[in-house]
């Protein structure tokens, strides 16, 4: 197997780069045709690898690519592999060292939007399957169902509908996802938690038109000033979130659990250096590692209003806007936090303005088991290919569909991801290490074999 991988790695990389050339940006309708092309490309590659019944399942939005490989034999286990072929917008383009949809390999890394999140990681599954199907590669030891969506980055709304409508088709024993990361290339790890999300767009409205700031300034509430004050008040001096009841349901870890977490290799110095910061910052009483995993957060993702063009314009804007998101941890729920945020944010509007809160998509936090057959199969697979036992980590990102798989299909997920925090996902110059891509392809077949063999 190692030799097949070595002999074919150039082709594997070329195919991935062809796929990365298709700008499958789900957030922007102008890329719709490319999204469809990316789905088509994936369908063809799955078919070539030997996956059966590959279909492009239409939805009200972007299609879902589904295929399966069913092995004979009663009692054969079934793994449902999920991933996404849509990518984040590449803006701002000028900050890329090479164009986001013209992939290049530099310093042993593939640079392109989607290289790591998630096309590169999805493609590991396609090639791992190709490898297992070949004579002499050991065969496919269990049923595999592949389901790849094109709307993960915009909330997976249509996947949710698809899953609810296709429970029989999606029947499986476990979900396998490669859309997360490891701590370092010499420190394998498996994410066992994802945060939830509550996301809002807020609008503060003042006067009925933009005003001359000399004629009116001082006598009217300025919506931008008001919005800034409101946002500033959402944290106290200790970095705690001030929304009443925000922490009511937060699962507080025990001292033992926190001590266990602290054993994971994490360098505060490296962390600061990697993002060019003199100091880290966050909720008092917690480490950076904890702040980005087991603690809930609130961040402004964007803010706009007034005049932002060249030069100066003396104006008081009629409206100010912001996008505000909260990352949630067990046992917060997005509905609960959405209601609390909305009520609080409306209540803190100062005199002279009105505020509107519009909730966007949300998602629930999850913690996946570490004592399951599937987790052990993944940990053993990584131990084989990395030569080191992976450590379980709690991740900071969100994949809302994971909680849905549990509630709708009753299935746990294994997050067998191979990215690195430094891969710059969602940022300019996103990349994926060639090492990581190949290590994923090498590891995945071990997972299937370990899982199929386990009782
Ligand atoms: N793959 C990421 C999530 C992720 C990355 C989890 C790294 C753990 C480690 C996923 O594509 C993503 O970006 N999710 C969004 C949420 C979604 C609703 C837009 C996120 O976390 O912001
Ligand atoms: Mn992703
Ligand atoms: Mn993403």
**Residue 337 has which token pair?**
């936090």
Per-residue model confidence as pLDDT tens digits over 388-437? 999 999 999 999 999 999 999 999 999 999 999 999 999 999 999 999 99
C-alpha of residue 163 to centroid of ligand 3, in Å: 20
Q: Decide if pLDDT at 209 tops 80.
A: yes
Most informative mutation of 82, 154, 179 for ligand 1 (most atoms within 8 A of CB) = 179
Per-residue model confidence as pLDDT tens digits over 236-269? 999 999 999 999 999 999 999 999 889 888 899 9
- Report the share of the chain in percent with pLDDT over 90: 95
36-52 average pLDDT score: 98
Q: Decide if pLDDT at 2 tops 80.
A: no
C-alpha of residue 182 to centroid of ligand 2, in Å: 14
Distance CA 128, CA 382 (A): 14
Q: What is the DSSP string of 99-146?
A: -TTS-EEETTEEESTTTTTTHHHHHHHHHHHHHHHSTTTT---SEEEE
Q: Decide if pLDDT at 326 tops 90.
A: yes
Distance CA 204, CA 316 (A): 13
Ligand that lies nearest to the alpha carbon of residue 118, given by its number in the listed order: 2
Give the least confident one: 190-194, 195-199, 266-270: 266-270
CA 363 to ligand 1: nearest atom: 18
Active-site entry in 34, 152, 364, 430: 152
The answer to whether 343 touches 421, Cβ cutoff 8 Å, is: no
**Residue 315 has which token pair?**
């104006």
CA 396 to ligand 1: nearest atom: 8
Average of per-residue pLDDT values in the chain: 96
- Report the share of the chain in percent with pLDDT over 70: 100
103-123 average pLDDT score: 98
Most informative mutation of 198, 399, 426 for ligand 1 (most atoms within 8 A of CB) = 399
Is 68 among the catalytic positions? Answer: no
Ligand that lies nearest to the alpha carbon of residue 393, given by its number in the listed order: 1
Q: Check residue 431 and give its pLDDT.
A: 98
Q: Which residues are CB-neighbours of 165 under 8 A, at least 6 positions away?
A: none
Q: Check residue 136 and give its pLDDT.
A: 75
Q: Decide if pLDDT at 74 tops 90.
A: no
Is 430 among the catalytic positions? Answer: no
C-alpha of residue 399 to centroid of ligand 1, in Å: 5
177-203 average pLDDT score: 97
Q: Mind listing the domains of the chain with CATH numbers?
A: 2-194+365-453 (3.40.630.10), 196-250+296-363 (3.30.70.360)
Question: Quick check: CB of 197 below 6 Å from ligand 1?
Answer: yes
């Amino acid at each position: 197997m190692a030799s097949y991988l070595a002999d074919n790695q150039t082709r594997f990389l070329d195919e991935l780069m062809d796929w990365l050339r298709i700008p499958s940006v789900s957030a922007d309708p102008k890329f719709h045709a490319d999204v469809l092309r990316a789905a088509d490309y994936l369908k063809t590659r799955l078919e070539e690898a030997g996956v059966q019944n590959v279909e492009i399942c239409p939805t009200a939005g972007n299609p879902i690519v589904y295929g399966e490989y069913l092995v004979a034999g009663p009692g054969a286990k079934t793994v449902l592999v999920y991933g996404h072929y849509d990518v984040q917008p590449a803006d701002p383009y000028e900050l890329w060292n090479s164009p986001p949809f013209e992939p290049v390999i530099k310093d042993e890394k593939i640079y392109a939007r989607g290289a790591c999140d998630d096309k590169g990681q999805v493609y590991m599954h396609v090639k791992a399957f190709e490898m297992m199907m070949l004579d002499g590669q050991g065969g496919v030891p269990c049923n595999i169902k592949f389901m790849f969506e094109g709307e993960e980055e915009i909330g997976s709304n249509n996947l949710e509908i698809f899953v609810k409508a296709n429970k029989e088709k999606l029947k499986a024993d476990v979900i396998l996802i490669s859309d997360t990361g490891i701590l370092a290339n010499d420190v394998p790890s498996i994410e066992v938690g994802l945060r939830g999300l509550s996301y809002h767009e807020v609008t503060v409205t003042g006067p009925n038109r933009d005003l001359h700031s000399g004629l009116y300034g001082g006598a009217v509430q300025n919506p931008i000033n008001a919005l800034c004050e409101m946002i500033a008040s959402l944290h106290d001096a200790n970095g705690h979130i001030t929304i009443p009841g925000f922490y009511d349901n937060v699962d507080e870890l025990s001292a033992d659990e926190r001590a266990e977490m602290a054993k994971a290799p994490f360098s505060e110095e490296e962390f600061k250096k990697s993002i060019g910061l003199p100091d880290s910052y966050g909720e008092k009483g917690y480490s950076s590692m904890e702040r980005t995993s087991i603690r809930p957060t609130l961040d402004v993702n964007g803010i706009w209003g007034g005049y932002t063009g060249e030069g100066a314009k003396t104006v008081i804007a009629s409206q100010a806007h912001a996008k505000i998101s909260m990352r949630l941890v067990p046992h917060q729920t997005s509905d609960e936090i959405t209601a609390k945020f909305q009520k609080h944010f409306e209540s803190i509007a100062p005199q002279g303005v009105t505020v509107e809160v519009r909730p966007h998509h949300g998602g629930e936090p999850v913690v996946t088991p570490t004592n399951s057959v599937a987790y052990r199969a993944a940990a053993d697979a990584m131990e084989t290919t990395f030569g080191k036992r992976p450590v379980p980590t709690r991740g900071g990102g969100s994949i809302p569909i994971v909680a849905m798989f549990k509630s709708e299909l009753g299935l746990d997920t294994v997050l067998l991801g191979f990215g690195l925090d430094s891969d710059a996902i969602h940022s300019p110059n996103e990349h994926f290490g060639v090492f990581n891509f190949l290590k994923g392809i090498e590891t995945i077949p071990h997972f299937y074999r370990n899982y199929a063999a386990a009782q």
